Amino acid sequence: MKITDVKCAVIASAPVIRITTDEGITGWGQIETPKPYLQPIVLQLKSWLVGEDPVNVERVVKRIRVRGGFKPWGAAVSAIEMALWDIAGKAAGLPVYRLLGGKVRDQVRTYRTLYQAEVPGGADHTPEGYKRWAQYAKSLPGGFTMFKLPTSF
């Protein structure tokens, strides 16, 4: 099996990747929102991917990771890896978690990122700002018990 095409569309400011193979299997990956600026980075990696065997995930990821594993390349590489695992699972007729070692738990605790701009009245990196962040977090639907707050650097 060989990769024949790599496409990247930005949907609601989040890049979504589609990798297609010569056997008609399609794999999907995505990058967290809002990162539309990563679309060209994904497409730059296309020439490194076409012709590769998508089921050989580790080899392909190692090949493209030489471009960089940190910002901004890391998110693009991760989304491509996600699409490769999707293809590998479909080719094997197995869910990806089985390829990665099997089920180890029945539930996964998730978190939600909270951005300053979405907090009513704003939230800065002060005790009062963190209080507004916490109050806003408690009001959100979804049952989240963990939140990630971005930092500036």
Report the C-alpha gap between 153 and 2 in whole angstroms.
41
Q: Are residues 62 and 125 in the same domain?
A: no
Residues 41 and 92 in one domain: yes
User: Hey, what are 116's tokens?
Assistant: 């300053």
The reply to whether 105 falls in a domain is: no
- Same domain for 83 and 24, yes or no, is yes
pTM higher than 0.85 for the full model?
no
Question: Do 18 and 93 belong to one domain?
Answer: yes
8 and 59 inside one domain? yes
Q: Is residue 104 a part of any domain in this protein?
A: no
Between these two residues, 124 and 62, which has the higher pLDDT value? Answer: 62
Q: Tally the domains of the chain.
A: 2
**pLDDT surpasses 60 at 153:** no
Q: Specify the higher pLDDT residue, 138 or 121.
A: 138
User: What domain range includes position 42?
Assistant: 3-99
Distance (Å, whole) CA 78 – CA 43: 14
